[in-house]
Amino acid sequence: MSRRWSIAARSAFIAGAVVFIALTVAGAALTVVLYQVLLAGVDDAAARRVGDVVAGLAFDSAADLDAPLLDTDQRIVAVQVLDNHGNVVARSDGAPASPLVAPSEVGPTMHVGLTDDVPPDNDQRVSGRTVDTKFGRYTVLVAGDIEAAESTVHTALLLLAGACPVVVAVAAISTYRLMRRSLRSVDAIRARVAEISTSDLTERVPVPPGRDEISALATTMNDMLARIESGHAAQRQFVGDASHELRSPLTAIISALDVAVAHPEVFDLKLATSTLVPEAERMRVLVEDLLLLARADEGRLARHREPVRLDDIATGEVVRQRRIGHRDIGISAEPTELRGDSAALSRLVRNLLENAARHARSHVELTVGIRGEYAVVTVADDGPGIPERDRMRVFDRFVRLDSDRARSSGGTGLGLAIVAEIATAHGGEVTISERGGGGTLVTVQLPLTKLPDSKR
C-alpha cells in the first residue's frame, strides 16, 4: 500500500480487504456446511427406504415385494435386493443389474454413505443392510442422487461469488466516505492551527458537534491554546516588568555618571556610595532573581538533593540578618533534617526573613520544626499584614501591594515568588495567614521523605 494514499483511501482498502477475507472464509464454511447437510438429507432418505424394504422382506419374499418399495423419486434413484449369493433378485426401474456396491461392504447394521461403484460416474451415495428372513438372507441396497446437492452448492457458490465484489465495493466506498466526512473536521482544525501565529493567540479551532474523539481533540487543542496564550501573556508581562525594574537602576547609574562626566569635581566617594553602589547592588540582586526564576521555569531548580539540616540553615540566615542590621529577629529551631538543595533552601529562608524584616514594625520570629511528615518553617512579623484577598497574589512576580511594599522599600516584588518556586521544586507549599495579635505569618511545609528530582 502506497504511503502517499490518504487515510480515507487506506481505510477503504483495509475495510474492503477485511470484508473480502471475511466473505471468503464465511462462504467456504457455508458451502461445506450446506453440502454436508444436503448429503445427510440424501443419506437419511436412502436409509429410510432401506428400512422400509427390510420391513417388507419380513413378510414377503423379494419377488413378492410391494411395488412402491421399489419406486424411485427425486432423491432415490435405485433400489436393489440381493440374495445370499450376491445376485440382484429385485430392483427398481433403471437400476443396474449388477450390485451398486459389493455385498461384503454391507453388514447386519445400517451402512450409509457408501460410494457407488457402478460406471460411468460415482454420483450416488448408497445405503445398505443385510437381513435374515424366513425366505433367506437378503442384502438391500438403496442409492440416493447427489447431483441435486452438487447443483445447489454450485449455485450457492455462484451467488456468493457474484455478491462478494458488490459487498466489498459497498464496504470500501462507505468507509471512504465516512472517513472523508470525519476527517473534514480534522482538516478544519489543521487549517485553523496553521493560521494561528504568536502575534494573535486568541484564535481557537472549531469544535465539531457531537461527543466523539475528534470533538475531544478539538476541545483539548483549544485548552492547550488557552494555556499557551496565558503563558505568552505572562511572559510578555514578565519581560515588561523585568525591563522596567532594570531600567530604574540603570537610569540612576547613567545619570550619576553623566553628572560625573559633566562635573568631574562632584565624582567622589559620597556619590559612589550613595548612588552608584546601591543601584548597582539592586540591579545585581534583580538579575540573580530573574536568573533563578528562569531556572525554575525550565525545571532546573533544586535538582541537586542531599541531606541538609534545615535548622542550621535557618540559624545561619538569622545570624546573617542580624549582622546586616536586622537585630530584632528571634529564632526557635529544633533539629530538622531533609533531602534538598542547600543553596535553594537558604535562599528560601533568606527571602522570608528579608520580606518580614522589611515590613515588620519591631520584631520578626522564625521557627523551624517537624509536623508529622513535613518540615515546617514559619516566619511571623508584626507589620501591617496582608489582606486575605491578596494572600495568593503576592506569590506572583513583580507584585507589590501598596506603598509600604513599594520599590523604595528595597524589594523587587520577586522575593515571595522565588520562595514559592523553591518550595514547589521540593514538593512543598507556602501559605500566608494572619499572625495572632496582628501582622503576617508565612508557613512553608516541605516533605521529609526522599523525593525524586523535580520535573515540570
pLDDT tens column, 236-275: 777 766 676 677 778 878 887 887 788 777 777 777 777 7
Instruction: Check pLDDT > 50 for residue 60.
Output: yes
Q: Is 445 helix (H, G, I), strand (E, B) or coil?
A: strand
Quote the percentage of the chain above a pLDDT of 90.
Answer: 31
Over residues 133-191, the pLDDT tens digits come to: 988 899 999 999 888 888 999 999 999 989 999 999 999 999 988 888 888 888 888 88
Question: Which of 63-67, 247-251, 351-355 bottoms out in mean pLDDT, i.e. has the lowest?
Answer: 247-251
Residue with cell string 523535580: 454
Under 8 Å between Cβ of 80 and 141: yes
8-150 CATH pick, 3.90.25, 2.40.50, 3.90.1570, 3.30.450: 3.30.450
Q: What pLDDT score was predicted for residue 244?
A: 67
Buried b (16+ CB within 10 A) or exposed e, 1-31: eeeeeeebbbbbbebbeebbeebeeebeeee
Instruction: Check pLDDT > 60 for residue 455.
Output: no
Q: What pLDDT score was predicted for residue 406?
A: 43
Instruction: Check pLDDT > 50 for residue 325.
Output: yes
Quote the percentage of the chain above a pLDDT of 70.
Answer: 89
What CATH architecture is 302-447? 2-Layer Sandwich (3.30)
In this prediction, residue 393 has a pLDDT band, given cuts at 50, 70 and 90, of confident
- Take residue 312 and report the three cell numbers written for it: 542550621
| Alpha carbon of residue 292 to chain centroid | 35
User: Is the fold of 8-150 the same as that of 302-447?
Assistant: no
Instruction: Please state, in angstroms and rounded to a whole number, the distance separating the CA atoms of residues 35 and 138.
Output: 32
Q: Where are the domains of the chain?
A: 8-150, 213-295, 302-447
Over residues 189-232, the pLDDT tens digits come to: 888 888 777 667 777 888 887 777 788 888 888 888 888 877 77
Taking the chain, what is the end-to-end CA distance rounded to the nearest angstrom? 41
Q: What pLDDT score was predicted for residue 454?
A: 42
Instruction: Please state, in angstroms and rounded to a whole number, the distance separating the CA atoms of residues 286 and 288.
Output: 5
Instruction: Please state, in angstroms and rounded to a whole number, the distance separating the CA atoms of residues 23 and 207.
Output: 38
- Take residue 193 and report the three cell numbers written for it: 492551527
CATH topology of domain 213-295: Helix Hairpins (1.10.287)
* H-run or E-run covering 377: strand 374-381
